[in-house]
Amino acid sequence: MKDFNNLIHVITDSINFKIDVSKISSRIWILGAGKASVAMAAELYDELPYPPHDGIIISPTDDYLDNIQIFRGSHPYPNEETIAASYELKNLAASIPEGDTVYFCISGGASSLLTIPPYGVEIEELVFTYKLLLKSGVSIHEMNVVRKHICEIKGGKLGSILSHVNLITLMSSDVPGNDPTIIGSGPTVGDPSTFLDAKIILEKFNLWARLPLSIQTHIQLGVEGDIPENPKPDSPVFKNHTTKIINSAESLAEKIAIKLKNEGFDTWIAPKAYNENVRSVSKEISSKAISVLSNNFPVNKPAALIFYGESTVKVTGTGKGGRNQELALACALSLEGQHDVTLISIGTDGIDGPTDAAGAIIDSYTTLKARKKKINPEDYLVNNDSYHFHEQMGTLIKTGATGNNLMDLQVLIVK
C-alpha cells in the first residue's frame, strides 16, 4: 500500500453496523467485554432511540462513555482486577428488571477480560492454565472449549443470568468460522460442548497432567456429573435472546481489497480463514507469492493477496514474539531472494503476543540484509525469538491498541 497507515485506518474504522431499534420500548442497558467492546458500544449509541439507563463494559484500556461504567481488565491473562470487574458485571446483570432490553457487546479478548474462577480455583492457577493453553498449539476453538469449563460466567452462564430480559448479543468475530459459541468463549449463548470435551482436548495436547490439581478436580467433577454442564443451546433460558455478528475478518478483508484496488492492485482474498499452525500458514502464503511471480496464479502484477485467520504456535524456545512476527520471519526465509515481494502480518487488535508490536513487515531482502549483519534468522525462528530479529532489522510494526479485533491479517504485495 502507498501508505501503511491507510491499512490501519481501515482496521480502526471498520466497526460500523446498523441495528433495528424500531421495536424497543423498554429501558436499555449495555454490557460488554473485549478489545473492541467500547468501540462497539460507542457505535451502538448512534443507533439507539434514547440513551441507555446504565451498563458495564470490561476493556483492556481506559475509556469513557456516557451512562456506561468502563472497568479495566487484563489480557491475555486475567488478574484480580479482571475478576472484580467480572463480578460487578455479573451482579448488575442479575439486578436488571425483567423485560428490559440488554445489549451485550462482545469481541476478542473477552475470554480473558470476563473471568470468574470456579470455586476452589485460585487466580494464579487459572493464569497458569491459560499460559499452558496459549503455548501448546491448541486452536482457538479448542482453547475456548476448555476456558468455558473453568469459568463461572462464560459458556452461556451469563446468558442464563440474563434469562429474564430481552438480550441482544452483538459480536465482533475473531475466530475462524465465526462460531458464536466460541467468540469470547460464548458467555451469552448456549454451549454445545461438555466437560468431557474439555478433558479430551487437554489430554490430546498432553496438558492434563500438567494442570493444577484444583483445575483437574473441577473438570473431573463436571465429567462425573457432580457439577452441572453449561446451559445448552436449546435451553429455555435463551428464549428471548438473539445474536448478531456485526463484524468479521471477512468483511475487513473486503474493505481492504477495495482500498488496494483503488491503489492499482489486482486483488485476491483467501476464501476462508486459516486455522493451522503458523509454519503451515507461512508455507501457504509463500507458495502463493511464488505462484504469482511465476504467472501461475489468476491475478496480475502488481498483485495484492489478503489472508486472515487465527494461527497457532507451539512454543519450544525461550525467545520473545507473537504469531504474526513469527509468521513474517518464516515467510522472509521462504521468500529470500524472490523479487518485489512484501508481506505485512499484523494482529488487528494492534497486539501480537506478549509484545508491544502489532506484527511485522518483511520483503524478499529482509533475511539477506540480516545475514550481511551477521544475524542468523534461522536461529531466531527456532528459538521463537522473532521479536528480537525484527527489532534488529527495523521491521516491527507498532500501532498501539486499534480498538478492534478481527483475527490476524496478512497482506502480500507482489510487483
CB 359 within 8 A of CB 332: no
Cell of 63: 475509556
Distance from C-alpha of 57 to C-alpha of 107, rounded to nearest angstrom: 11
Distance from C-alpha of 95 to C-alpha of 137, rounded to nearest angstrom: 40
Residue in 259, 369, 243 with CA at minimum distance from that of residue 304? 259
Q: Taking the domains of the chain in order of start, what are their residue ranges?
A: 19-246, 249-414
Cell of 286: 509463500
The domain 249-414: what is its CATH number? 3.40.1480.10
Cβ neighbors of 84 (< 8 A, separation 6 or more) are 71
Would you say domain 19-246 falls under CATH 3.40.50.10180? yes
Question: What is the tens place of the pLDDT at every residue in 99-145?
Answer: 999 999 999 999 999 999 999 999 999 999 999 999 999 999 999 99
What's the pLDDT score for residue 81?
Answer: 97
What's the pLDDT score for residue 412?
Answer: 96
Residue 183 sits at the vertex; the CA angle it makes with 310 and 235, to the nearest 5 degrees, is 145
Question: What does the H/E/C string look like for 124-170?
Answer: HHHHHHHHHHHHECCCHHHHHHHHHCCCCCCCCHHHHHCCCCEEEEE
pLDDT in tens, the chain (415 residues): 445 666 777 776 666 667 777 667 789 999 999 999 999 999 998 889 889 999 999 999 888 888 999 999 999 999 999 999 999 999 999 999 999 999 999 999 999 999 999 999 999 999 999 999 999 999 999 999 999 999 999 999 999 999 999 999 999 999 999 999 999 999 999 999 999 999 999 999 999 999 999 999 999 999 999 999 999 999 999 999 999 999 999 999 999 999 999 999 999 999 999 999 999 999 999 999 999 999 999 999 999 999 999 999 999 999 999 999 999 999 999 999 988 999 999 999 999 999 999 999 999 999 999 999 999 999 999 999 999 999 999 999 999 888 888 999 999 999 9
What's the pLDDT score for residue 100?
Answer: 96
Same fold, 19-246 and 249-414: no
231-263 core/surface letters (b: 16 or more CB in 10 A; e: else)? beeeeebbeebebebbbbbbbbbeebbebbeee
What's the pLDDT score for residue 210?
Answer: 97
How many other β-carbons are positioned within 10 Å of the β-carbon of residue 376? 13
What's the pLDDT score for residue 1?
Answer: 44
Distance from C-alpha of 256 to C-alpha of 14, rounded to nearest angstrom: 10
Distance from C-alpha of 111 to C-alpha of 291, rounded to nearest angstrom: 39
